[in-house]
Amino acid sequence: MNKEESISISNQDLLKALQGKYLCARKQLQQARSNRQRRRLKEHVDDLKMDLAWALLDCGEYEKGLALCISVCGRQYRERKYNGIGRALTEMKHYDEARRILEKGLKEFPESFALWTGLGILHDILGDHFESLKCFEAAIEFDPTKNSGPLYNKALALMGLGSYTDAASIIDHLIEEYPEDPKYFADRGNCALETGYPREALQYYQKAIDLLSESPDAHTGVCIYAGFCSAYLGLGMKREAIEIALEGIKRFPDEDSALYHNAGAAFFEMGWRKEAMEVLKKGVDKFPEDEEMKKFLKDIEDDMDDPDKGDKPPLLGALLLMALIYKKMRKK
């Protein structure tokens, strides 16, 4: 069982426990006789309702979580309510509505770490990394715990803006503080690769893989293997690129199409077009919604069928571009 499966089971257990407590509290409320007892139980029910709403969101039941968030009343819940509704709408891809509710919440709670983080994540999803960066900087200012999440979010926003040197500086700090976390080494490798240091990137990816066995995480794993393969390709180490790409697919076969893209690119670079087509077909079967991979496969098929390849532009540029696919791990 990997880390994400463990988290999923843990979330489901928490959801069941909260559902049981919530039903029990509602029953007690219905049976309460005095006004004082009813007020106390009503507050307890509302507390459980809000906790249950967040548990539903953590389990991916966004519509149910949204409905429960909306139903909670009371001034003391308003900040969490705005945040919960914003998160649910974001996960449901109702981005305009999510932005309106998060911005409305920030007018009422301008120093809310959670709301600034939620708005930053929304802007990141929409590709507006500059606005995302501003939101994450505000979240850092108002973070009462001063944990790693907001700082990491800022680093990812900087990477989205192409400011890899600034991002690397933050990630170096996070590596010093949390040397056991593989995702920081993976993103540090991405920064090195993007700034033209593939050999340095390999060192970070190797350290990340070593740590991944101790703390397995699928999203981080995809990032590591995709970056590792790209670094090898950039150095002309084609056999190593194939080996690491196939290892990534074996380890995370159902997680992300990027691994199949990279394997196809590595095989193509070796001149093994049949093998490239085979691995891409497997990727298309697993990820039929990936239009880029379908085009990649078709380009190779057309290239093989063309009797006069000299009149066609080389695929190398497109293939290397496809190989440079990274999976961001945003900490929510």
Task: Break the chain into its structural domains and give their ranges.
Answer: 1-73, 88-179, 197-332
Query: 182-194 and 164-177 helices cross at what angle (nearest 10)?
Result: 160
State the pLDDT confidence band at 238, using cuts at 50, 70 and 90: very high
CA distance 330 to 223: 12
Q: For position 329, what pLDDT does the model report? A: 38
Closest CA to 98 of 75, 120, 119, 114: 119
Taking only the tens place, the pLDDT of each residue in 176-205 is: 999 999 999 999 999 999 999 999 999 999
Structure tokens at 118: 């939620």
CA distance 35 to 5: 45
State the pLDDT confidence band at 217, using cuts at 50, 70 and 90: confident
Q: For position 1, what pLDDT does the model report? A: 43
CA distance 91 to 98: 9
CA distance 299 to 282: 16
State the pLDDT confidence band at 254, using cuts at 50, 70 and 90: very high
Q: Does domain 88-179 have CATH number 2.40.420.20?
A: no
State the pLDDT confidence band at 48, using cuts at 50, 70 and 90: confident
Q: How many helices (H) and strands (E) does the chain have?
A: 17, 0
Does the pLDDT value for residue 27 go beyond 50? yes
Q: For position 177, what pLDDT does the model report? A: 94
Q: Is 209 helix (H, G, I), strand (E, B) or coil?
A: helix
Mean pLDDT value across the chain: 86
CA 213, chain centre distance (Å): 19
More confident residue, 66 or 28: 66
Taking only the tens place, the pLDDT of each residue in 262-320 is: 899 999 989 999 999 999 999 999 999 989 889 889 988 887 766 555 444 444 444 44
Q: For position 309, what pLDDT does the model report? A: 53
Do 88-179 and 197-332 have matching folds?
yes
CA distance 82 to 3: 30
Does the pLDDT value for residue 158 go beyond 80? yes
Q: Does domain 197-332 have CATH number 3.50.30.10?
A: no
